[in-house]
Amino acid sequence: MIWNRQGRGSGSCLLRTPNASGGRALHTLPREVMRMLTWELLGAATGAGLASGREVAAFFGDSGAWGYAGLALAALTVAWLAGARLPEAWQGRWPERLWRGLNALLLTAVGGAMLAGAGEMTASLLPSPWGRLTGMGATLLLSWLLARRTASGLAWVSRMLLAGMTALLLWALMLPPMQATLPEASLPAGLLRGVTYGGFNAALLQPLLVSRPQALCRTSLRRAAVLLAMLLALGQATLLHHPAAMAYPMPFLYLASSLGEAASCLAWSCLYLAILSTLSACMKSLGGWGIPGVCGAAALGFTGVVDAAYPVLGGGCALMLAAMRAAAGRRGGNVEDVVNVGKP
């Protein structure tokens, strides 16, 4: 990528990509558009499981130091699979229908889990008969409003989430270590978990990219993958410093409770922002018709949706994305010749 000659104040850059004739095409990409899409992708991938520490402990913490290799592979998997496009040979045939159906079910399940999590979180903070429904209703409305706007609203939520989680995890690293015995680490298991985690998140992000130029998607996706890897690495460092926290359902919230009321408020705020950002991304991908499905999935509860739907739907969508990439590789890949990019 090269910046244009008008300098940094111009707010745009030039990106060279291959064109159909084998030459190099220039794409004018406003920097603000790339930044907004980067934050939107990061916010979609940073859900309640990551913000609470549950996913970090389950996918990487048990692997010890090998978990860093797993999270690096997860970021590479996200960057590679999320940019896949539907092959021409699939269009109008059963593979396209299967992909769209599986992906819609995955987005519905993830949105339902986030909405259920918002309700459970509100019920724990506001012990009232209407606390759960109030939290779910307010979160659904707010996510719908964010999804209808441009990427700016979701981008700001993502920025606050990253800043809050970074501050919380660095704060937790200042605590004396909470020691515990970890299971024997295995590099193959860590790498497998990394691919699994990356494939699931790639399936979640791919619908946000299909309507946008590939040159923009590649740049923003790589940046989002780097930020995700940095956040996962900080979370992994925190859990390896406090391995005893991995015995709790929400390790980061447990650590925050040891730091005092201010840290607990920060942790709960980060958790809600993570729920809101992922739910907004799901609503944006599904459109208005997804609201009934998300509400129906939320009725199963957070744990019910995660345990029943995530493994099957996430694995199926990840395999189909890999098949898309393989099909694109056989025919030489897709070429995008967009010259200018507007607002996302």
Q: Average pLDDT over the chain, rounded to whole? A: 85
Picking from 68-72, 312-316, 331-335, which range would have the lowest pLDDT averaged per residue?
331-335
- On the question of pLDDT at 310 being above 70, the answer is yes
- Tell me which of 222-231, 279-288, 330-339 is least confident: 330-339
Higher pLDDT, 173 or 30: 173
Pick 185 or 99 by higher pLDDT: 99
List the one residue out of 219, 251, 283, 174 whose CA is nearest residue 83.
219
Among 258-267, 273-282, 295-304, 324-333, the minimum mean pLDDT is found in 324-333
Q: Rounded to a whole number, what is the distance in angstroms from the first to the last CA of the chain?
A: 20
pLDDT in tens, 191-223: 999 999 999 999 999 998 887 777 778 889 999
CB-based burial, 136-164: b 16+ in 10 Å, e otherwise: bbebbebbbebbeeebebbbebbeebbeb
3-state secondary structure of 3: strand
Which is more confidently placed, 298 or 287? 298
- Structure-block tokens of residue 216: 């923009």
Instruction: Kindly indicate the confidence band of residue 131, based on its pLDDT and cuts at 50, 70 and 90.
Output: confident
- pTM assigned to the model: 0.86
Q: Which two tokens stand for residue 204?
A: 């979640």
CA distance 207 to 113: 18
Q: Are 140 and 294 in contact (CB under 8 A)?
A: yes
Check residue 250 and give its pLDDT: 93
Q: How confident is the model at residue 50 (pLDDT cuts 50, 70, 90)?
A: very high
Domain ranges of the chain: 38-84+97-177+187-325
**The dihedral formed by the CA atoms of 325, 331, 336 and 337, expressed in degrees to the nearest 10:** 170
pLDDT at 26 over 80: no
Give the model's pLDDT for residue 3: 37
Q: In what order do the strands lie in the sheet with 12-18?
A: 2-3, 12-18, 24-30
* CB 228, CB 53: distance < 8 Å: no
21 contact partners, CB below 8 Å, separation of at least 6:
none
215 compared with 299, residue with greater pLDDT: 299
Task: Give alpha helix (H) positions in 242-301.
Answer: 251-259, 261-286, 290-298
Q: How far is residue 56's CA from residue 246's CA, in Å, rounded to a whole number?
A: 9
Give the mean pLDDT of 10-29.
49
Q: Residue 65: which residues within 8 A CB-CB, separation 6 or more? A: 185, 240
pLDDT at position 291 over 80: yes
Q: What are phi and psi of 172, to 5 degrees?
A: -65, -30
For helices 131-148 and 94-125, the axis angle rounded to 10 degrees is 130
105 vs 216, which has greater pLDDT? Answer: 105
